[in-house]
Structure 1
Amino acid sequence: MTEAAKAVLASLERDQRARAGWAWSDAESQTERRRWFYTPTDHGGLTVNAMTPGQYQRTMVLVATGLSEAGYVTVATIMGLENALDRTEGFASTFARDRGRDPGMYYLRIFGTPGEAVWGWRFGGHHVSLNNLVVDGALVSSTPCFLGADPATAPLLGATSLRPLGAVEDLGRSLVRSLDDAQRSLAVLTPRAPVDVVGANRSRISSGDRVVPLGDLFRGRFADPGLAHAMDAAHEANESYYGITPADHDAVELTAAPRGVPASSLGAEQRELLLAVLNCYTGRVPEELIAREAARYAGPLLDEVHFAWAGGLAPGDACYYRLQGPRLLVEYDNTQRMANHAHSVWRDPEGDFGTDVLAAHHTAHHA
């Protein structure tokens, strides 16, 4: 990862490097490092469409070092889906730029100097947000990690479909359908799914967090009042279509004590299903780190993880689920575009962006 980051920076011209490489120590950089998005907005950094083909390839080498093979293929597929989404929307010019759905609008920013004791990097664009921190030569944090897909299901030749996050949804649905009545009464929070992941793109998760309106998920409000109104109207239309009520928002808001059914109340096969769901998130990291991430929830540690669901149970129904436990918040949502627009995110509420590791590193080396 260090060598890949060095290779990217070494290939850049001065003006490119000013956009891609930021110092570590100043307050502005640290505030920016904790700012993240999953909408088609300015994620901050150097876009891949402002790179030469060689620079773009070096950037993807860096991206690949932070992901498993399955994670990397999923990210590459999501980026390519911008072309399919562009066709769905009639190749319209949106978001106050010539091409609204643009597979070149993915941004790289490196914080600090690769190879020093502490540095990090971020890669993101529409439906991708990767945030990585390296301390003393080890990748210590990979959250928040967001992957989405629009369309969530698209036709392929041979009467089959492309579903980049299909198994992520199907495993969750299999788990909720496996529950008996008593388990399901705990797990199902409301029959209507929220129209987005509840934690949104907040830098820090807090009790009481609720769904953020679409227009507030971009970097700043739109200068064009018409565009700002369109974003607000889209959010309101989604909630109206599904009949979302204040009680539904109450039911799915984030709480310090996890809602849902605890893994301690699940049978052996159900626990295996829960682990399979969880592995769709912890399995995004490089292969050599997957076992480390999975060990956080092995054996009795799994008992404290809660599974919650909102929405319909049948395939194709709008749905939402989350896993919540110590150092864990996973959310999946597929409601927008008539349940053909999926969002998934993996977070560590106590250690996103490596804040806990950085605090310990500072105490050990700078106290």
Structure 2
Amino acid sequence: MKKIFPFLFCLLLNSKVSGHDPASEMATAAENFLASLEGAKKKKAFFPFNHKDRENWHFFPGSFISPNGRMGLTIKEMDSVQRNLAQTLLSTALSHRGQIEASTVILLEQILYEKEEREMRNPDLYHYAVFGSPNKAGTWGWRFEGHHLSLNFSLVNGRIFSVTPSFFGASPAKVNEGKHKGLRVLGEEETKAFKFLKSLSPPQKKMAILSSNPPREIFSGQDNTVQASNFLPAQGLPITKMNPRQKGWLSEVVKVYAAKHRPQSIKQIVQKKPLLHPTKTFFAWAGGLTPKTGHYYRIQTPDFLFEYANTQNNVNHVHAVWRDFKGDFGRDLLADHYRKDHSKGKDWVSMFDGETLKGWKPNEDEDSFSVINGCIVANAPGRCHLFYQAEKPFQNFEFKAEVMTLPYSNAGVYFHTRFQDEGWPKAGFECQVNNTYHDPKKTASIYGVADCLEAPANDDEWFNLYIKVIGKRVITKVNEKIIVDWTQPADWKKGGNFERILGEGTFALQGHDPDSTVLFRNLFVKRLP
């Protein structure tokens, strides 16, 4: 059996942690890594930042991931120079401790590879994927992932804004035979949690222990979106029922998860939200009360989830994850960045707060529109429209938004329209949103007036949609490219059932049909004289 040690050796060799800014070091390391790749290798490693699968992460072996396996370029496909550059990138993200634990997880795969002789255990099947162009002042991200490891980093304006989801797993968690007998990984997540559990009084344990039967797996699983609103309710022992010493021991548990990352990165994160909320933190336990019996715990705050399970393979198979309810993959800070960035221009007004539909009014079915991860999601069981509620109508204006269509979806942005209880809006014009739906009128068409028959954008990718009305002239753009430039003729008639004539009005987003799902975010408008 082939022994694959070079990458593990390199991982430990490069485990020196610098005191410099990790974000700048990441950008430089990622640039150097990508520069070493050409052709098919670079295509496997480099993706647009807004790629539809950037947030699809996994901790299973690659052969279990359908339909196309794991994203990224594997260590196996790299030459020695590329391996060194890839490892340098990883060393910019993890602390010394984090690098040791990551290398040990990979070593466990090596042990199983030698024992089982199955390619799925090959320790060189760990993947690097870079999303967006690395830049010391830019917005981009990257991932290192393979069996039992998924490390995700998102940077905005050259700062590290997210290190979650951060997943470490181990099987076996402790090696019981062979030359590596006694080797253990992810031990402190367990020992510190048991130390805390042991400190609890009987009444406290009654609150903390939800069940004597542990779940087989962490509840958050591999979901790319875990939010406080749709996850399990905060249960167990509240931090307000803990004494100061117990609060300190609980803090030690969560610090084990955070300590795998560079301290400079964690400092940026906790400046905005503490790892433990002072009044709204809960500790929940399920399973046995000794390390030899299956056990599970989670520590849950309004912002974070720390989740651990050791129930499989005779209590020798650990899954441990750190999630950010609002900020996995930097979602919350990206949304804030986009709002601020788009509103820098003079007189631009945000139309959407990223969290609620405040300022908008649906007509036929209020469930046709929802807010998910900073986006307005249009998915109507039937025809429905969401009207913008402004103090006065818009006449001359500029409008811009980011839009994503799922395959075969249809929607639209109406302008110079007005609220009506039902039906297709009679007043105003529709700027079409459709890239692959069967209607031949494609995105940025002024529907039925000036039609574009070739889609200017792709499904599953964010694109910028722009509309400008000045006098009798309408301009639409997609990603800064003009799609329609139409001037209403002097003898234009507004029509019968539909009043298609420029004048004034508001905006409306269209929910077209139950098979269409379209996302809108960062909606802005600017009134023009």
TM-score by length of 2: 0.56
Code of the residue aligned with 2:81 in structure 1: it is G
Deviation of residue 291 (structure 1)?
3.8
1:353 is aligned, of 329, 340, 345, to 329
Aligned to 1:113: 133
Where does 1:35-114 land on structure 2 (aligned, <5 Å)? 35-41=56-62, 42-87=69-114, 90-93=115-118, 99-114=119-134
Is the strand fraction higher in 1 or 2?
A: 2
Deviations 1:59-115 (A, max 9, x none): 11111111111111111111111022234xx4243xxxxx12110110111000000
Deviation of residue 139 (structure 1)?
0.6
**Contact between 1:189 and 1:310, CA under 8 Å: does it hold in 2?**
yes
Deviation of residue 178 (structure 1)?
1.4
**Contact between 1:156 and 1:162, CA under 8 Å: does it hold in 2?**
no
Code of the residue aligned with 1:11 in structure 2: it is S
Across the aligned residues of Structure 1 and Structure 2, the Cα RMSD in angstroms comes to 2.0
- Between the aligned partners of 1:206 and 1:137, the Cα distance in structure 2 is 26
- Return closer, same or farther for 1:311/1:265 CA change in 2, 3 Å cut-off: same
- Return closer, same or farther for 1:302/1:117 CA change in 2, 3 Å cut-off: same
> Does residue 344 in structure 1 map to residue 320 in structure 2?
yes
Where does 1:103-252 land on structure 2 (aligned, <5 Å)? 103-115=123-135, 117-155=138-176, 161-206=182-227
> Does residue 284 in structure 1 map to residue 305 in structure 2?
no
Deviation of residue 156 (structure 1)?
7.4
Deviation of residue 262 (structure 1)?
1.1
Aligned to 2:308: 332
- Between the aligned partners of 1:288 and 1:319, the Cα distance in structure 2 is 32
Aligned to 1:22: 47
Deviations 1:189-219 (A, max 9, x none): 111111111100001115697xxxxxxxxxx
Deviation of residue 366 (structure 1)?
2.2
TM-score by length of 1: 0.80
Code of the residue aligned with 1:12 in structure 2: it is L
Q: Flag structure 2 segments of 5+ consecutive residues without an equivalent.
A: 1-25, 63-68, 344-529
The structure showing larger relative contact order (alpha-carbon pairs under 8 Å, at least 6 residues apart) is 1
Is the helix fraction higher in 1 or 2?
A: 1
- Between the aligned partners of 1:121 and 1:159, the Cα distance in structure 2 is 32
Secondary structure of the residue aligned to 2:291 is: coil
- Between the aligned partners of 1:159 and 1:33, the Cα distance in structure 2 is 36
Deviation of residue 48 (structure 1)?
0.6
> Does residue 312 in structure 1 map to residue 288 in structure 2?
yes
- Between the aligned partners of 2:107 and 2:78, the Cα distance in structure 1 is 17
Code of the residue aligned with 2:106 in structure 1: it is M
- Return closer, same or farther for 1:305/1:363 CA change in 2, 3 Å cut-off: same
- Between the aligned partners of 1:259 and 1:184, the Cα distance in structure 2 is 12
- Between the aligned partners of 1:46 and 1:160, the Cα distance in structure 2 is 32
Aligned to 2:12: none
Deviation of residue 297 (structure 1)?
3.0
- Between the aligned partners of 1:283 and 1:91, the Cα distance in structure 2 is 33
**Contact between 1:328 and 1:347, CA under 8 Å: does it hold in 2?**
yes
- Return closer, same or farther for 1:264/1:103 CA change in 2, 3 Å cut-off: same
> Does residue 5 in structure 1 map to residue 42 in structure 2?
no
- Between the aligned partners of 2:109 and 2:278, the Cα distance in structure 1 is 37
- Between the aligned partners of 2:79 and 2:175, the Cα distance in structure 1 is 30
Matched length: 310
1:366 is aligned, of 335, 338, 342, to 342
Deviation of residue 271 (structure 1)?
0.9
Deviation of residue 294 (structure 1)?
5.0
Q: Among the aligned pairs, what percent are the same residue?
A: 34
The answer to which of 185-194 and 290-299 deviates more is 290-299
Considering only CA atoms, is the larger Rg found in Structure 1 or Structure 2? 2
Secondary structure of the residue aligned to 1:339 is: coil
**Contact between 2:132 and 2:139, CA under 8 Å: does it hold in 1?**
yes
Deviations 1:217-274 (A, max 9, x none): xxxxxxxxxxxxxxxxxxxxxxxxxxxxxxxxxxxxx42x301101111112211110
- Return closer, same or farther for 1:20/1:267 CA change in 2, 3 Å cut-off: same
- Between the aligned partners of 1:159 and 1:53, the Cα distance in structure 2 is 26
Deviation of residue 287 (structure 1)?
2.3
Deviations 1:10-37 (A, max 9, x none): 1112210000011224xxx1x2111000
**Contact between 1:282 and 1:294, CA under 8 Å: does it hold in 2?**
no
- Return closer, same or farther for 1:276/1:200 CA change in 2, 3 Å cut-off: same
